[in-house]
Amino acid sequence: MDHFLWRILPLLALLSSFLYFYFQNSSKLLQFSHSDCSLLPYNHYWITSKSIVTPRGVISGAVEVKEGNIVSIVKEEDWQGNSKRGHIIDYGEAVVMPGLIDVHAHLDDPGRAEWEGFPSGTKAAAAGFWGGLVPENAFNASSLEALLSAGVLGLKSFMCPSGINDFPMTNASHIKEGLSVLAKFRRPLLVHAEIQQDSENYLEDDANDPRHYSTYLKTRPPSWEEAAIRELLTLSKDTGIGGSAEGAHLHIVHLSDSGSSLQLLKQAKRSGDSVTVETCPHYLAFSAEEIEDGDTRFKCAPPIRNAANREALWKALLEGDIDMLSSDHSPTMPELKLLNEGNFLKAWGGISSLQFVLPVTWSYGQKYGVTLEQLALWWSERPAKLVGKDSKGAIEVGKHADIFVWEPNTDFDLNDDLPIYIKHPSISAYMGTKLSGKVLTTFVRGNLVYKEGKHASAACGSLILAK
């Protein structure tokens, strides 16, 4: 491995993909038996439920899992007369869904494991990597190709300061070069789309008190997102059919602006550019008007905007103009959040949310009539397509048995009485909220890795390696 790759390795761990993380070409790393990685003593079984979410709708029936894959799906009327017998796990009225795929989460390990490491982060999620596109490697095609050949799922870049010196920002020239390499591998580039514009020097006076969320909001207006997206779309036209970067794909992470930025993206899609966009649950759950003075748990970038913007984001998601959801789980140490000082201008930005995204989406989505099928589309099917994993993203014969089971109608208060696995729960903006949707069990490649507060063996429970 050359010198550059050693330097870039910490960047790989800053960004993660699957909620059930996936390592390509990992046969040499498979050191654990099935019993180490699963709470089940067998690898051939049936899961039954009255509510199984499939690409063809919600059915009552059974899913057969064998050696990590879904090998058959049987509707209830056929299951009743089925002569096949074996191990059966009956979940009754609980919902059986495809495993969530979180295409945008930060685990900060190695390098900043005290913020969030694999042992803590992967108990709510397990891990594969995005590579980093930075100025140092942008014009070095061989370095980028080495990352992609090693199995990274795509690249990620920032168009504004990331807050971490190890991950410097890129400009349009860097991104253009990155897209040309990604085209050969037919993989995506994820971009934090904000370009810093000239802004006033906000003084600490009564009108611009740094403890007021409105003060921070003024420093990061929607025009930052619009400027970045407008520049990106001068490059994305090359990703269309016949373009010089055909095969590459541009994905905008954590869209916050539902105005001009979204309109630009809609037009680019209509023009045939290979472009997708995500937003995050915190932009759908919260609004700027609701954030109390000094509550820096809510600081993130782009910022949470007003209630009207939140409504427009929901509309865009429901109508398909926003393609998918991600957590943008961005943890840190509590002292960097400045919770006691409450200074929004100086506190670390990022929402800690990895464990809570499903109940948050479901709970806040009830007002808008969100369905189980839509949850599977936003959190499983479309993310799987983005990362090029045809074997994941749906409960369908032939796909990996990545499955989770939950009770949509079970309410709970998100507080310290619950088992919480992220490293620093106190900095999460979701603590203290009331949610619906209790997760019962999680299967990864057929391995039962979580069951109501219990994880698989420490030998590999925090890291499931796919065959």
Least confident interval from 120-129, 209-218, 258-267: 120-129
The listed range with the strongest mean pLDDT (199-208, 332-341, 363-372, 439-448) is 363-372
pLDDT of residue 206: 61
Looking at residue 114, its pLDDT comes to 52
Residue 451: predicted pLDDT: 85
**Which pLDDT does position 205 carry in this prediction?**
56
Least-confidence region, from 278-287, 351-360, 392-401, 404-413: 351-360
| Whole-number pLDDT of residue 104 | 59
Res 106 pLDDT > 90: no
Higher local confidence (pLDDT), 64 or 27: 64
Can you give the pTM of this predicted structure?
Answer: 0.86
Is the pLDDT assigned to residue 128 strictly greater than 80?
no
Three-state SS annotation for the chain: CCHHHHHHHHHHCCCECCCCCCCCCCHHHCCCCHHHHCCCCCCEEEEEEEEEEECCEEEEEEEEEECCEEEEEEEHHHHHCCCCCCEEEECCCCEEEECCCCCCECCCCCCCCCCCCHHHHCCCCCCCECEECCHHHHCCHHHHHHHHHCCCCCEEEECCCCCCCCCCCCCHHHHHHHHHHHHHHCCEEEEECCCCCCCCCCCCCCCCCCCCHHHHHHHCCHHHHHHHHHHHHHHHHHHCCCCCCECEEEEECCCCCCCHHHHHHHHHHHCCCCEEEEECHHHHHCCHHHCCCCCHHHCCCCCCCCHHHHHHHHHHHHHCCCCEECCCECCCCHHHHCCCCCCCCCCCCCECCHHHHHHHHHHHHHHHCCCHHHHHHHHHHHHHHHCCCCCCCCCCCCCECCEEEEEEEEEEECCCCCCCCCCCHHHCCCCCCEEEEEEEEEEECCEEEEECCEECCCCCCCCCCCC
User: What would the pLDDT profile of 221-280 be if each residue is shown by its tens digit?
Assistant: 999 999 999 999 999 999 999 999 999 999 999 999 999 999 999 999 999 999 999 999
pLDDT reported for residue 25: 32
pLDDT for 27: 33
- Listed ranges 12-21, 26-35, 393-402; the one with the highest mean pLDDT: 393-402
Tens of pLDDT, residues 327-352: 988 878 899 999 999 999 999 998 88
**Residue 461 scores a pLDDT above 70:** no
pLDDT averaged over the chain?
Answer: 84
* 453 has pLDDT over 90: no
pLDDT at 116: 46
| pLDDT tens-place string over residues 423-450 | 778 888 999 999 999 889 989 899 998 8
Range with lowest mean pLDDT among 37-41, 72-76, 273-277, 450-454: 450-454
